[in-house]
Amino acid sequence: MEKTTTRNIRVESMQPLDSPSEFVKKLPASTSVENTVLEGRYQLEQLIQGLDQRLLVIVGPCSIHDESAALEYAEKLHDLAKRLDDRLLIAMRVYFEKPRTTVGWKGLVYDPNLDDTFDISDGLNRARKLLLEIGSIGLYACTEFLDPIVPQYIADLVSWAAIGARTTESQTHRQMASGLSMPVGFKNATDGSTQVAVDAIVSSMSSHGFLGIGENGQSCMVRTTGNPYSHMVLRGGRNGPNYDKKSIDDALSQLDESGVRSNLIVDCSHGNSNKDHTKQPPVFRDVVKQKINGQKGILGCMIESNLLPGSQNLGSDPSNLKYGVSITDACVGWKETEELLMWAHNEL
């Protein structure tokens, strides 16, 4: 890295990474894993088009920090998903990037050792290996894309993607979503505004030209065709929840007036639960009952869930962390998650 009087004066170092194509060649997807990813995308697209009436449930840890616990969770979820798939389309949250309001742990991709060493090369490797293992189980993986470079390394293993509340208004992320190969959900803004998500959907469904990187790692001018499967995710906001019937009706009306599909997913966490994991189940039950009562615009729900309930602080020594407990937002435990999904299956 070259420093001059006007260039890189606040950059400490730059570490080259493998290009996306070199990286993927080292950790290729088998035909079986590719088929799982494509099957998940197809089923989600059918659901978004109204051709599949099942309830989508995207469920899993707030963030992945321990691959062993994540795989144990994935195996449990896959077994449950198979038993309930006549009425529920179940996919797993596999989140590697965490947007921060100020500072904090940014996710497995950026700090896989949980110690501020920021070994991004190792983080990308571990993230891709986990997605390959989840795909080999036969489970559909969902994630949030934060950095627009990351999809080049792992997006081929993802069946659904989210754009978070802090980045839904970002032109960069709308452009990125317009070229992603899977359905994309845009969350409403942190202040609760849903118009931001509506605008993002309209933008991402359009074609764009922008700067990006190609498979060989070079800077490119990227042209996209637009993503026809963009949709809204209601996650509440600073002014309170937005999963109630009126809020959902209003959001669907906004979508309809904008000329896009009037359907959405409800995030049972974040502003809708006031970040209290014990309030996620009541939100989920309320939304399921709305769907049962005829609200066809509800595609499904998201639940933050882990092997064990609650959360823990990362602290200074990762070896002291409890197994199966979130280090970011508090989660519902597996036992209650299983009960919730079985309840929804029976009600539907």
Residue 6 lies in a domain: no
Note whether residue 302 is domain-resident. yes
**Distance set, CA 192 to CA 187, 189, 330 (Å):** 9, 5, 21
- Which long-range CB contacts under 8 A does 325-330 form with residues at least 24 apart? 326/61, 326/62, 326/63, 327/63, 327/65, 327/105, 327/114, 328/62, 328/63, 328/98, 328/105, 329/62, 329/63, 329/269, 329/270, 329/275, 329/277, 329/304, 330/62, 330/275, 330/276, 330/277, 330/304
Q: Which pLDDT value is given to residue 59?
A: 98
What's the number of domains the chain is made of?
Answer: 1
Residues with Cβ within 8 Å of residue 83, at least 6 apart in sequence: none
2 part of a folded domain: no
Q: What is the pLDDT of residue 2?
A: 77
Residues 304 and 272: their CA atoms lie apart, in Å, by 12
Kindly write down the DSSP assignment for every residue of 244-309, as one continuous string: SHHHHHHHHHHHHHTTS---EEEESSGGGTTT-GGGHHHHHHHHHHHHHTT-TTEEEEEEEB-SSS
Distance CA 157, CA 135 (A): 7
Degrees to nearest 5, angle at CA 90 with 329 and 306: 30
Is the pTM of the predicted complex or chain greater than 0.85?
A: yes
Tell me whether residue 333 is in a domain: yes
The half-sphere exposure of 76 on its side-chain side, counting CA atoms within 13 A, is 21
Straight-line distance from the first to the last Cα atom of the chain, in angstroms, rounded to the nearest whole number: 59
* Containing structural domain, residue 195: 20-347
Residue 297 placed within a domain: yes
| CATH number where 158 lies | 3.20.20.70
Nearest CA among 111, 154, 132, 158 for reference residue 32 = 132
Q: Does the residue 261 lie in any domain?
A: yes
Question: Tens digit of pLDDT per residue, the chain (348 long)?
Answer: 778 889 999 999 999 999 999 999 999 999 999 999 999 999 999 999 999 999 999 999 999 999 999 999 999 999 999 999 999 999 999 999 988 877 889 999 999 999 999 999 999 999 999 999 999 999 999 999 999 999 999 999 999 999 999 999 999 999 999 999 999 999 999 999 999 999 999 999 999 999 999 999 999 999 999 999 999 999 999 989 999 999 999 999 999 999 999 999 999 999 999 999 999 999 999 999 999 999 999 999 999 999 999 999 999 899 999 999 999 999 999 999 999 999 999 999
Whether residue 12 lies inside any domain: the answer is: no
- Does 8 reside within a domain? no
Three-state secondary structure call for residue 161 = strand
For residues 5-20, one letter each, b for 16 or more C-beta atoms within 10 angstroms of the residue's C-beta and e for the rest, the string is eeeeeeeeeeeeeebb
Query: What tokens appear for 287 in the block?
Result: 């939304």
Report whether 81 contacts 88 (CB < 8 A).
yes
